[in-house]
């Protein structure tokens, strides 16, 4: 199985991740959130426009995620976040809701918005193997 498929399968099994952004004060901020994913390894998440992460993403689109750790396997993921608008937003909301159907109730809430993150770098680490199964993908 190729590396992208290994990562995609792992990401698809998880619903929660830690997202890190950087504030205008150049300090990191992190939050646990639900996410959706595409076969292109894009991640989709929602947030309120009054949240710190939303404010941070207005000035710095670079983000980092950590997904997993169950069974000593994790994905570190860096990418560029793009706020979704119009038809594109609807398309990716559907992807997000397939994985997180309960989140659909937030879809009509005033002040909610969606982001798509395109990967720039991913590290997959499986510490169950000897030697450890670690590889990186750069985009």
Q: How confident is the model over 4-18, as a mean pLDDT?
A: 97
pLDDT digits (tens, 9 = 90+) for 26-59: 999 999 999 999 999 999 999 999 999 999 999 9
Q: What does 26-60 look like in DSSP terms, one character per residue?
A: S-EEEEEEE-EE-TTS-EEEEEETTSHHHHHHHH-
Of the chain, the percentage scoring pLDDT greater than 90 comes to 91
pLDDT band at 74 (very low <50, low <70, confident <90, very high): very high
Other beta carbons less than 10 A from residue 48's beta carbon = 13
pLDDT digits (tens, 9 = 90+) for 16-30: 999 999 999 999 999
DSSP state of 79: E
pLDDT at residue 15 in the model? 95
pLDDT at residue 1 in the model? 76
pLDDT at residue 107 in the model? 81
DSSP state of 109: S
The residue segments making up the domain with residue 7 are 3-138
pLDDT at residue 137 in the model? 97
pLDDT digits (tens, 9 = 90+) for 85-132: 999 999 999 999 999 999 998 888 899 999 999 999 999 999 999 999
Distance CA 62, CA 70 (A): 26
Number of domains in the chain: 1
Do strands 62-68 and 73-83 pair parallel, antiparallel, or not at all (unpaired)?
antiparallel
- CATH number for 105: 2.30.110.10
């Amino acid at each position: 199985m190729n590396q992208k498929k290994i990562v995609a399968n792992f990401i698809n099994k998880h619903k929660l991740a830690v997202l890190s952004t950087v504030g205008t004060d150049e300090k990191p901020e992190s939050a646990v959130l639900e996410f959706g994913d595409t076969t292109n390894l894009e991640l989709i998440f929602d947030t309120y426009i009054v949240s710190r992460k939303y404010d941070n993403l207005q000035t710095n689109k670079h983000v980092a995620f950590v997904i997993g750790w169950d069974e000593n396997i994790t994905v570190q993921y860096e990418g560029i976040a793009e706020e979704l608008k119009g038809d594109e937003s609807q398309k990716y909301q559907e992807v997000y809701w397939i994985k997180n159907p309960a989140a659909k109730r937030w879809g009509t809430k005033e002040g909610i918005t969606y982001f798509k993150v395109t990967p720039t770098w991913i590290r997959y680490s499986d510490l169950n193997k000897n030697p450890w199964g670690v590889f990186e993908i750069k985009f």
